[in-house]
Chain A
Amino acid sequence: MATNTAAGSTNLLKLWPWVVVPLVAIVLPFLFDSGHAINLLSHMGVAIIFALSYNMLLGNTGLLSFGHAVYYGLGAYVAMHLLRSINDAGGEGLPIELLPLVGAGAGLFFGIIFGTFSVRRAGVVFAMITLGLGALVHSSSLMFTDFFGGEAGLFGYRDEAPSLFGVDYAPSRNVYFLVVAWAMIAAILIYLLKKTPLGWMANAVRDNPERAQFVGYDPTIVRFIQFALSAMFAGLAGGLFVITDEIVNDEAVNALTSGAVLLGTYIGGIGYFIGPIVGGTLVTFLESSLSAYTEAWVLYFGLMFIAIVMFAPMGLVGIVHTQYLNWKAGGWKGNTGARLYILLTGLVGIFGLVCVIELAYHYFRSWDPSAPFALMGVTVDATNALPWLVSFGIAIIGFGLMLFHGNPMLKRKLGAKSDGGKA
């Protein structure tokens, strides 16, 4: 929220995340220096830009889009075509560092075209149109193989293109630094946009389009400009993805990609600027690492989303923020133990639930349910009752203690305090 009460020095102090985050980002590839880790970090950077652009719609303007991948993907395809023409010209043409701008241009172009007829209404109508457009573009991507390269997609080579600074982009660490640079630029621009008359009126139109009209603003135009700019940043992310992966296929424009950015942004927290940053990072991480451990990762993803929607609509950042405010206001005094107890029992419950899901997954999905498999480091047989009993037991005890012992305890401790926090 914008307040102008703080003096200049404290305002400068508030800028610390803008210094710390890039510093951490620059150090990370030296700590995790495997090729896999660096690729993962690059993907996180791309996902952050994409999620930030998505939140320009959902969080800032109140527009729920089911088709944001359209602009990401089309940006990527157009950038890929340019990269290929640079490759074909023997590495002559636009410097590779500027390729994301081509994606951004394409995103903006399609944002303007599709925006003209999608933003007239917010709410359900808008959501349905984006869903339809997403399906339309995705099926086109499989139909028009000349432009989209069919199911195999399109390839290009980032190191066969000129560099502004003479950098060799064969090593993925150099690519990662390029991603960090663009992510910083995009994040700063998106942040600054929130402070402009357009950004303010986007919030105003989200909260009360009618009132916005009676102070002179046309809600449709506010939504339209926001939409086009958001599509531009999505296209930027797509262009960057071309550099990190050197391949684009229909996945870039499909509903899964649109869904992932919605989930990630929401899980992070749509009411906070860093919400989509946290969400984009987390989702990319889970997608890549959780999928190595369990086949059920999509299910966990969905469960997490449902849990956030139901219990913490302000997202993970929102949970941390409310708890922090509560703690700062002294709301934790004398009940920190109870809060930790709720957290701990909750984690135990989740652990039990995960065991149950893993067992079920193995039991129903495996060719041979009785084949031994490793559950949390213990080899068990899913046709045996014991692991089921233990897993259910842990889940029930954990959640049971949390709901029927921890929660009442916290409520009691909070006593007369009006504000009952959750762990």
Chain B
Amino acid sequence: MTTRNALELKGVKKNFGRAEIIRGLNLEVHEHERHVIIGPNGAGKSTMFNLISGRMKVSDGSIKLFGNDIHNLPAHKVNRMGLSRSFQVTNLFQNMTVMENLRCSLLWSEGHKYAFWKSVMGQQAVTDRAYELAERLNLTEQAEIPASLLTYAQQRSLEIGCTVASGAKVILLDEPTAGMSRTEANDVIQLIQRMTGENTLVVVEHDLSVVFELADRISVLVYGEIIATGTPEEIRNNAAVQEAYLGTEVH
């Protein structure tokens, strides 16, 4: 069976002024795989996500999503082509309730676009999907609570839910367990596995136990370059990785 590439980055570069933060980055993410990106602080992981998701423009190189060029498309176009993301810092519609956040995330993927002649609450398909998502997120009890009043872990879950709700086939999650306790992090990892099923997943993660539990393959990003990609076994045994990264990070 040949595996298609969901994402393909070739020679991607990004400078902020003189500083070259991403320096010729190559990466292939297979369809349906769970691909974890690790790397020291400031390596450029979030920047890479910003480039892929259309939040920033690349300085050079190309990014393909299922074979189509997406570099330098605006974020909403990238999203419509099947990619969505969460942020390192929680990014929700804070004034809206859980259900409203989910509904907003579903509107486009359910084909309602900019319609101003039909009621949102009258769309049974959206309502059903939103309730179903709330249930899978364990947020049924909080359904009518504004996002800003949720606990941090709940907000992160909701953000993952919104990301999934937008109908994306490729999902980028930037440090979904950052700032969480051990048990909270475990819950979120289980949630991610439950929610993303068939989807292709790219996750930035610092916690190595989480990394090895979640990943099908791992890429190591150091100083704006991928220095190694492989299965958890291969990465664990890779001398360059141990030197550049694991050696300093193992607790």
Contact A197 B118 (CB under 8 A): yes
Give the contacting residue for A213; candidates B75, B97, B162; CB below 8 A.
B75
Instruction: Choose among B76, B97, B108, B120 the residue with the greatest number of A CB atoms under 10 Å from its CB.
Output: B76
Interface size class of B (residues with CB under 8 A): 35 or more
Please tell me if the beta carbons of B116 and A211 are within 8 angstroms of each other in the complex.
no
The interface size of chain A toward B, counting residues with CB under 8 Å, comes to 32
Instruction: Give A213 to B97 CA distance when docked, in angstroms.
Output: 19
List of B residues within 8 angstroms of A1 by Cβ: 97, 100
B125 at the interface (CB under 8 A from A): no
Residues of B within 8 A of A207 (CB): 93-96
B74 within 8 Å of A (CB atoms): yes
Smallest CB gap from B92: residue in A: A211
Once A204-B93, A214-B53, A215-B104 are accepted as A-B contacts, the answer to whether A197 and B75 lie under 8 Å apart by CB is: no
Given A213-B79, A214-B85, A216-B166, do A197 and B94 touch, yes or no (CB 8 Å)? no
In the complex where A201-B104, A204-B96 touch, is A215 in contact with B114 (Cβ < 8 A)?
Answer: no
Give Cα A201–Cα B100 distance, bound, in whole angstroms.
10
Q: Does B250 contact A (CB under 8 A)?
A: no
| Chain A CB within 8 A of B107 CB | yes
Judge if B127 is at the interface, Cβ distance under 8 Å: yes
Select one of B94, B95, B166 contacting A215, CB under 8 A: B166
Residue of B nearest to A199 (CB): B116
Q: Which residues of A contact B104 (CB under 8 A)?
A: 200-201, 204, 212, 215
The yes or no answer to B119 lying at the interface (CB within 8 A) is yes
Considering the chains assembled together, what is the distance between the CA atoms of A197 and B111 in angstroms? 10
Given known A-B contacts A207-B93, A215-B107, A200 and B120 have beta carbons under 8 A apart: yes
> A218 CA to B53 CA in the complex, in Å?
14
Q: A3-B144, A5-B144, A208-B91 are in contact. Are A215 and B120 (CB under 8 A)?
A: no
Q: Which residue of B lies closest to A208 (CB)?
A: B93
Q: Tell me if A196 and B120 are in contact (CB < 8 A).
A: yes
* Complex contact B120–A197 (CB within 8 A): yes
B92: chain A residues at CB < 8 Å are 208, 211
Give the chain B neighbours of A200 by CB distance below 8 A.
100, 103-104, 107, 120
Docked pose: A415 CA to B144 CA in angstroms: 30
Q: Is the CB of B75 within 8 A of A214?
A: yes
B163 touches A214 (CB 8 A): yes
Q: Is A222 an interface residue (CB 8 A)?
A: yes
Q: Which residues of the partner chain A approach B108 to less than 8 Å between Cβ atoms? A: 215-217
Docked CA distance A221–B108 (Å): 13
User: Does A366 reach chain B (CB closer than 8 Å)?
Assistant: no
Q: Could you tell me if B163 and A197 are in contact, using CB atoms closer than 8 angstroms? A: no
Closest residue on chain A to residue B144 by CB atoms: A3
Residues of chain A contacted by B121 (CB below 8 angstroms):
2, 4, 195
Give a binary string over B166-183; 1 marks a CB under 8 Å from any A CB, 0 the rest: 110000000000000000
Q: Please indicate the chain B residues that have their CB under 8 angstroms from the CB of A215 in the complex.
A: 79, 84, 104-105, 107-109, 162, 165-166
A317 within 8 A of B: no
- Interface residues in A189-212 by Cβ distance below 8 A to B read 192-193, 195-201, 203-204, 207-208, 210-212
Q: Which of B79, B109, B117 contacts A196 (CB 8 A)?
A: B117
Q: In the docked arrangement, what's the CA distance between A365 and B68, Å? A: 72
Is A46 an interface residue when CB atoms closer than 8 A count as contact? no
Specify which chain B residues have a CB less than 8 angstroms from the CB of A225 in the assembled complex.
114, 116
CB neighbours of B84 from chain A (8 A): 214-215
Q: Across the two chains, which residue of chain B brings its CB closest to A225?
A: B114
Q: A208 and B94: CB pair below 8 A?
A: yes
Are A216 and B55 in touch, CB under 8 angstroms? no
Q: Is the CB of A2 within 8 A of B93?
A: no
A214 touching B116, Cβ below 8 Å: no
> Which chain A residues have a beta carbon within 8 Å of chain B's beta carbons?
1-5, 192-193, 195-201, 203-204, 207-208, 210-219, 221-222, 225, 229
Could you write out 28 A-B pairs with CB less than 8 Å apart? A1-B97, A3-B144, A4-B121, A192-B119, A196-B115, A196-B116, A196-B117, A196-B119, A197-B115, A199-B120, A201-B104, A203-B96, A208-B91, A208-B94, A210-B75, A211-B93, A213-B54, A213-B75, A214-B53, A214-B76, A214-B163, A215-B79, A215-B108, A215-B109, A215-B162, A217-B76, A217-B114, A219-B76
Seen from chain B, the residues whose Cβ lies within 8 Å of a Cβ on chain A are 53-55, 74-76, 79-80, 84-85, 91-97, 100, 103-105, 107-109, 112-121, 127, 144, 162-163, 165-167
Known: A213-B76, A217-B114. 10 other contacts (CB 8 A): A195-B120, A195-B121, A196-B116, A196-B119, A197-B113, A208-B93, A213-B75, A214-B166, A215-B166, A216-B167
Nearest first, the 8 A-B pairs at minimum CB distance are A216-B108, A213-B75, A198-B116, A197-B112, A215-B166, A213-B76, A215-B105, A196-B116
